Amino acid sequence: MTRPYYIAGNWKMHKTRAEAAELAVALVDQLKDGKHKYLVAPGFTLLETVAPIVKGTNIRLGAQNCAAEEQGAHTGEVSVLQLKDLGVQTVILGHSERRHIYKEDDALINKKLKLALAHGFEVILCIGELLEEREAGKAEAVCETQTVKGLEGVAVADLGRIVIAYEPVWAIGTGKTATPEDADAIHAFVRGVIAKLYGQAAAEAIIIQYGGSVKPENAAQLMAKENIDGALVGGAALKAGAFVPIAKFG
């Protein structure tokens, strides 16, 4: 089965509105003939600026997180209703920075995921192990737990709107990258977890991105692997000169 490649840019806590607009305009222009599926996820304050620039193009608009409740007295949170109002199509959930810096656990991430699905969003569910977990031989166990608990209560009919992003935490922003072989092995393992949960057809269909110091220099080698279906790009997503070659690899 041939799965579409999906290249997403997570802008994290970077860019002013003017800078975001400049980057979005450049990406729309330079990716208009791109063959793959694309997404940018600006910070919350930038969504309204970027939305009209990417609307109607081949670049989806993503948010980096959402609240676990639909609305209400949740100071400092951003609701799925507000995101939908801005034209957001996809929500990134469970990013390692949310898990490890802001202490979001699997139950909270699962609650957010089901809420986002209920409101029609696509979800990119991030999973991945810490360096000490990998060195202790626990990488597969950690990824299995995060996948199973993240998808708890999700029907097979909704799985088509879920993308999994494998991000080894030790490779995010460090310059270290899992070798294509290391990454593909975890991707294949996670595909096996999906097969156990939802069946072989669902496992074959699900898109699993790799994230963790993806650069123009290593993108093609990573994407060449059988189970790697795209990338969730961090630092290299902040400049068109770096993101476009990744997005147009091959």
Separation of CA 140 from chain center: 19
Q: Is 167 a catalytic residue?
A: yes
Collapsing DSSP to helix, strand or coil, 37 comes out as strand
Task: Indicate which residue of 97, 133, 167, 187 is catalytic.
Answer: 167
Task: Indicate which residue of 36, 95, 104, 187 is catalytic.
Answer: 95
**Interhelix angle for 240-247 vs 17-30, to 10°?**
30
State the pairing for strand pair 90-93/208-210. Answer: unpaired
Q: What span, in angstroms and rounded, lies between the C-alpha atoms of 87 and 34?
A: 22
Q: What span, in angstroms and rounded, lies between the C-alpha atoms of 52 and 60?
A: 11
Q: What span, in angstroms and rounded, lies between the C-alpha atoms of 53 and 22?
A: 10
Q: Can you say whether the dihedral through the CA atoms of 202, 110, 145, 101 is positive or negative?
A: positive
How many C-beta atoms surround the C-beta of residue 238 within 10 A?
18
Tokens 């996948």 appear where?
A: 147
**Interhelix angle for 180-198 vs 139-150, to 10°?**
40
Which residue from 210, 201, 206, 205 is spatially nearest to 228, judged by alpha carbons?
210
Q: Is 14 a catalytic residue?
A: no
State the pairing for strand pair 122-127/6-10. Answer: unpaired
Active-site annotation, residues: 95, 167
